[in-house]
Structure 1
Amino acid sequence: MTAPPAQTQYYHHGRFRVAGGVLPDAITAYRTYGDPGNPCIIFPTSYSAKLDGQARRVGENKALNPKKYFIVTFATFCNGEPSPYNGPYFPAISYEDNILGVKKIFMAFGFSMGGQQAYHWAVVFPDFVERYVVICGSAKTSIHNKAFLEGPKAALLASKDFEDGHYKTNPERGIRAFARVWSAWAYGQSFFRGKEFEEGGAYPNLESFFKEKWEQNFLGAWDANDMLALLETWYTGDISIVRHGGNLGACLADIKARGLILPCQTDLYFPPEDSIMEGGHLKERGRIAVIPSTWGHMAGTGANPEADAFIQGEVMRFMEEPL
């Protein structure tokens, strides 16, 4: 049973300094599930995710159980909740800019960019975060990952309707190009040979997949400047900048919270090799479990039942493990 979407609330930070300048009235959109007296789990959004989508992972039969925990889902700056502000002049945002005031966190939980942010919670608040779960994410955005991000970014910037960010209507041509460059990396190669594309499957051909599903994910809910700003946060993600001057191994070794790292075996953004390398520095404070799925990065979204059953089982077991 999935929890129904809660009411979105808005926290006004007032003037708020971020990596690239100052926001005159920074706003964080968030939703809560459960009793505030229960242990708190924070669940930030990933790239292209909205608060409605976060509800998929909240439910009485899931790890994020609102009967047992107080769950706070919140929108990462530039995810479009609230509406875009200041177009191409929006200042650069880092992961640590998205860390909210905290008293005690039972667990920071996130997928993709949300997983990278979960790592940041454990580093920024070492005495207040007990556990963290990283699904298809990393402590530092790799060179390989950055090379991928340059592709869709270049497609959008070069489109004739982007107009250097000063467009009057959302640049559909550029967003469609952005989405198509993105698509081949999102799923594992085996996904495109699977049942979705077999005769009688969901999509009769690749063009149908692009137009009916993949491009719509970006066109329907995203502003092009927001897409680029959030991409920059991902691109520059590195927990070691926060505490250890760029020494990633030392930063990982110093994390006090207990961690569960869940890469997917076919993920092309955050391949399991990266997680295994990073996990070697966590020692006894971290555990890695590789998701066995052909869905690539998208295995971590909760959309594939088999992959999600594996994730739910690992997370539930992790939540019962002693600190």
Structure 2
Amino acid sequence: MVRDYEIFEPGEFTLQSGITLPGVRLAYKTYGTLNVQKSNVIVYPTAFADQHYNNEWLIGEGMALDPNKYFIIVPNALGNGLSSSPSNTPPPFDRANFPHVTIYDDVRLQHQLLTQNFGIEKIALVTGWSLGALQTFQWGASYPEMVERIAPFCGTAKTWPHTFVFFEGVKAPLLADASWSHGQYTAPPAAGLRAIGRVYAGWGFSQAFYREACYWQLGYQGLEDFLAGFWDNNFLKQDANDLLAMLKTGQQADLSANAMYQGDFEKALKSIKARAVIMPARTDLYFTIQDSEYESGLMPRATFRPIESIWGHFAGRGINPVDTKFIDDNLKALLAE
């Protein structure tokens, strides 16, 4: 199978935990051409359980992320199966032995890719959904002089307690599956993976989405068809240890949890110099609009623009054309400033 992405291998990479990965790999794909001034850069990190191709719905001619205008870099998050992950890392850091990775670690490695591989000094925009939104905020806080604009959607600057609890509920059925075998499984723990999908199904979309049977718009013939076809299939093809690694990354997310800000969350938000458009979904059940509104109020150059949608967290997934247009229109306006 022909690989449609590239690998950045800077050598040793020391994580926030103090553990050094001896041969870290960052998988990434680029779209468009870097201009001579290196001023047309957009960074678009991946979300939980996603890989670069899952981001392509927001990239295209005539869209805000137009490869004819911009050089778009989609870095795959650590743990997602393409970049260094439990499933592809040799001993002693294979499978359940893979060390904890933070959002800060992801962004530091991405920064190395941009500066060392491409010589990039300025970023026109960082944007992302869900776990990608957490990385977007981190970019703005970690490199305030480098990032000119940020546009996180359906994601917050840290994982608030209720969202942490939600992630615990996602993990629980997998950890309870005897075939998971403490991460040393020889065959996929299918029952646990399927159960993750069923748990997530009640959180990914809003009550109104189900009440109005919007899954018919996605081609499903009924509720059970949607649960099996959309949710079961999504998680059954994932590696269990990879999922758990990314969940842990998401659970511990906090843009101030580093030496630069030493846990001062408000200071970190106030230090973001980028022009920002914050786009939570009105009906997101775990990255809530209230948390996003609080965070945007602390940012000096932020505009708060909720996605008025009943598609919940998945308003930011590119599967509802109305929501996609809203996100794209706001990105166009932000890039035009």
TM norm structure 2:
0.89
| 2:103 paired with 1:87 | no
Contact 2:58/2:328, CA 8 A, preserved across alignment: no
Shift of 1:196: 3.5
| 2:227 paired with 1:210 | yes
Distance 2:26 2:334 in 1: 29
Distance 1:55 1:317 in 2: 20
Instruction: Map 1:1-323; keep pairs closer than 5 Å.
Output: 7-20=4-17, 21-37=19-35, 39-82=40-83, 83-85=87-89, 86-99=94-107, 100=110, 101=112, 102=115, 103-196=121-214, 202-220=219-237, 222-242=238-258, 243-283=260-300, 285-321=301-337
* 3-state SS in 2 of match to 1:44: coil
* 3-state SS in 2 of match to 1:241: coil
After TM superposition, the structure 1 stretch with the greater mean CA deviation from structure 2, 13-22 or 183-192, is: 13-22
RMSD across aligned positions (CA): 1.7
After TM superposition, the structure 1 stretch with the greater mean CA deviation from structure 2, 80-89 or 25-34, is: 80-89
Contact 1:6/1:31, CA 8 A, preserved across alignment: no
Residue type matched to 1:315 in 2? Answer: L
* 3-state SS in 2 of match to 1:240: coil
Distance 2:169 2:261 in 1: 30
Percentage of matched positions with identical amino acids: 36
Residue type matched to 2:13 in 1? Answer: F
Q: Cα deviation per residue 1:26-65 (whole Å; 9 max; x = unaligned)?
A: 1011111111115100111001211111121110121101
Number of residue-to-residue matches in the alignment: 314
Distance 1:106 1:15 in 2: 29
Contact 1:44/1:110, CA 8 A, preserved across alignment: yes
Shift of 1:201: 8.0
After TM superposition, the structure 1 stretch with the greater mean CA deviation from structure 2, 211-220 or 130-139, is: 211-220
Distance 1:63 1:149 in 2: 32
Residue type matched to 1:8 in 2? Answer: Y
Shift of 1:188: 1.0
Residue type matched to 1:294 in 2? Answer: I
Shift of 1:19: 2.7
Distance 1:204 1:60, change over 3 A: closer
Distance 2:314 2:9 in 1: 32
After TM superposition, the structure 1 stretch with the greater mean CA deviation from structure 2, 189-198 or 299-308, is: 189-198
Residue type matched to 1:306 in 2? Answer: V
Distance 1:317 1:6 in 2: 34
Distance 2:222 2:170 in 1: 22
Distance 1:75 1:233 in 2: 14
Shift of 1:247: 1.7
Distance 2:55 2:133 in 1: 13
Distance 1:135 1:6 in 2: 29
Residue type matched to 1:288 in 2? Answer: F
Distance 1:196 1:70 in 2: 35
Distance 1:244 1:14 in 2: 27
Residue type matched to 2:328 in 1? Answer: Q
Q: Which sections of structure 2, spanning at least 5 residues, go unmatched?
A: 116-120
Q: Which sections of structure 1, spanning at least 5 residues, go unmatched?
A: none
* 3-state SS in 1 of match to 2:78: coil
* 3-state SS in 1 of match to 2:319: coil
* 3-state SS in 1 of match to 2:4: coil
Distance 1:23 1:201, change over 3 A: closer
Distance 2:23 2:231 in 1: 33
* 3-state SS in 2 of match to 1:61: coil
